[in-house]
């Protein structure tokens, strides 16, 4: 009897998860027309969120979030994985649209905007696939070692121009390849972009970044973790192949060093 109960519980949970649909939200009561697409991800309570029309650098991008229940009252919020940011909140608020009372949620972005959005329907399979693909592109998941090297070369060149310094890149390709991670070094580009952005903050940060003479890149022991530390003038980065929201988390990791 207990086994039957456990089996039915598992089946019920699986069915509930399987029935969750990708949703599209549209803005209202704002100066721009924005669309938010929320697609259930592979792990429970995680979602791909795609932004369009928010007049923000997230536009055209997909980020990965985890869903949490609100501490007080009904509703929930979506927290950016790997970061403290909460960009989506459903707090049970309602508004009247075309004579009908409907629920709305709010999108909070780091440009101090709050955009109200209402559910407008389901996303079709073409849109769902595009949303997922955009996340993979943002994660710098390339298909070959050649593509990885080109991506690294481009980001290092841009960094050198912006920060007015040259830096030695030391990648142990054999170590990555021995762990079947031959394309993972492509993710170094995210950390180079982070350094490039940090050096433009002010003169002090520029000098700090220019003090780095060498970057040593090694694979992380844990796939969804990454680390970075300075050893004299060498920046050592342990890259994880499954680190979420790479543009945001890589910037935070590098910024916190300084």
pTM here is: 0.89
CATH topology of domain 2-138: Porin (2.40.160)
CA 145/CA 76 separation, integer angstroms = 41
Every domain of the chain and the residues it spans? 2-138, 145-257
b/e map 88-109, b = 16+ CB within 10 Å? bbbeeeeeeeeeeeeebbebeb
pLDDT digit string, tens, across residues 91-102: 999 999 888 999
Tokens standing for 105? 């949620």
Decide the pairing of beta strands 214-219 and 114-122: unpaired
pLDDT (average), residues 28-33: 90
Q: What is the pLDDT of residues 109-147, one digit of tens each?
A: 999 999 999 999 999 999 999 999 999 999 999 999 999
The strand pair at 234-239 and 214-219 is best described as parallel
Mean of the pLDDT values across residues 217-235?
96
Q: What pLDDT digit, counting tens, does each position of 228-246 carry?
A: 999 999 999 999 999 999 9
Query: pLDDT tens-digit profile of 159-169?
Result: 999 999 999 99
């Amino acid at each position: 009897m207990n086994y039957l109960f456990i089996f039915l519980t598992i089946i019920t949970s699986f069915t509930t998860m399987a029935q969750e649909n990708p949703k599209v939200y549209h803005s209202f009561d704002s100066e721009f027309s924005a669309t938010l697409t929320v697609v259930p991800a592979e792990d429970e309570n995680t979602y791909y969120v795609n932004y369009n029309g928010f007049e923000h650098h997230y536009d055209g991008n997909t980020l990965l979030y985890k869903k949490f229940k609100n501490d007080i009252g009904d509703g929930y919020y979506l927290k950016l994985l790997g970061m403290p940011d909460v960009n989506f909140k459903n707090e049970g608020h309602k508004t009247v649209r075309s004579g009908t009372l409907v629920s709305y949620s709010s999108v909070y972005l780091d440009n101090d905007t709050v955009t109200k959005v209402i559910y407008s329907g389901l996303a079709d399979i073409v849109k769902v696939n595009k949303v997922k693909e955009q996340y993979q592109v943002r994660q710098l998941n390339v298909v070959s070692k050649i593509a990885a090297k080109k991506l690294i070369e481009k980001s290092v060149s841009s960094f050198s121009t912006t920060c007015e310094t040259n830096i030695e890149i030391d990648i142990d390709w054999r170590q990555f390849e021995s762990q079947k991670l031959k394309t993972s070094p492509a993710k170094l580009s995210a950390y180079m972009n982070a350094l490039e952005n940090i050096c433009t903050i002010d003169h002090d940060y520029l000098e700090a970044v220019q003090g780095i003479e060498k970057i040593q890149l090694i694979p992380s022991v844990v796939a969804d973790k990454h680390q970075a530390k300075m050893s004299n003038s060498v920046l050592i980065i342990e890259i994880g192949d499954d680190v979420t929201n790479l543009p945001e988390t890589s910037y935070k990791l590098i910024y916190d060093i300084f």
